[in-house]
Amino acid sequence: MNAAASRRLRFCKMHGAGNDFVILDLREGAPPPDAALTRTMGDRHTGVGFDQLITIERSARPDCVARYRIWNADGSPAQQCGNGARCVAAWLVRDGAAMPPRFVLDSPAGAITVDVLPDGRYALDMGRPVFAPARIPFRADAEAVEYALDIDGETVRFAALSMGNPHALIEVDDLDAAPVHRLGPALQQRPEFPEGVNVGFAQILAPDRIRLRVYERGAGETLACGSGACAAVVALIRRGRLGRRARVALPGGMLDIDWPADDAPVRMTGPAAFVFEGEWNP
């Protein structure tokens, strides 16, 4: 048991479009919870309940106001979370550590520029998408816009890319009937994705609107996934199915995604909400 398990932990519960988090302020150098405590806190019946736990820490980068790290509800580390990044940004603004309208965060996937918009939403530079299979990582003979794997006798076609974390995107005609809880874990467990993968299911409504559900690594289906929304829009733009800007309707809310050019970073805009403060007593 680490030191975090034996002390009281002040936390803040937040969500971004329904994707919910516990935020811990560890800027004074306290260690983060270990995997066992993260799982205990993440339990929705006997703990606080969350999709991911996020720690806010001091950054060694002089251009960043803070560093954050992410753990899934099963205790495994995560590389990126767009909805979580917006919540971190909102938390730091409320704390006075970050000053609008623009600042930079140090994330597990690199520096992220944040813009605080007049309507209270947050716009984030999510970086450039990565398509090279080895960097996703995804085992494939060559880079392609679409891949296919046989899963239980069914040919499943999908796009694969990284937004700082690995994503697969499956286009469907009817999102409500999509086999999210069958194909999501089945694709995650494939050896072609050595680090697992977040699996998105997208239904196109118009050239600038889609619906999306995401089955995330270490969390299962969530109400929203920011990096998943970015990955879905990017994948569908590459297929010629969307324009350069799209609104993504997730079960928990709306995100706006903008990918202005193939060599440009993806920009995500969405809300961040405070839910409650609390103290975890071990």
Q: Is residue 203 annotated as involved in ligand binding? A: no
Q: Is residue 83 annotated as involved in ligand binding? A: yes
| Catalytic (active site) residue 230 | no
Q: Is residue 198 annotated as involved in ligand binding? A: yes
Which residue is catalytic, options 64, 81, 87, 230?
A: 81
Q: Is residue 165 annotated as involved in ligand binding? A: yes
Q: Is residue 277 annotated as involved in ligand binding? A: no
Which residue is catalytic, options 12, 64, 87, 225?
A: 225
Q: Is residue 216 annotated as involved in ligand binding? A: yes
| Catalytic (active site) residue 225 | yes
Beta bridge partners of 269: 123, 256
Tokens standing for residue 19: 């994707």
- In order, the DSSP letters of the chain are --GGGGS-EEEEEEEETTEEEEEEE-TT-PPPP-HHHHHHHH-TTTS---SEEEEEE--S-TT-SEEEEEEETTS-EES--HHHHHHHHHHHHHHTSS-TTEEEEEETTEEEEEEE-TTS-EEEE----B--GGGTT---SS--S-EEEEETTEEEEEEEEESSSEEEEEE-S-GGG--HHHHHHHHHT-TTSTT--EEEEEEEEETTEEEEEEEETTTEEES--HHHHHHHHHHHHHTTSS-SEEEEEETTEEEEEE--STTSPPEEEE--EEEEEEEE--
Q: Is residue 28 annotated as involved in ligand binding? A: no
Do residues 27 and 59 touch, judged by C-beta distance below 8 A? no
Q: Is residue 82 annotated as involved in ligand binding? A: yes
Q: Is residue 52 annotated as involved in ligand binding? A: yes
Q: Is residue 217 annotated as involved in ligand binding? A: yes
Annotated binding site for substrate: 19, 52, 72, 82-83, 165, 198, 216-217, 226-227
What are the catalytic residues? Answer: 81, 225
Annotated binding site: 19, 52, 72, 82-83, 165, 198, 216-217, 226-227
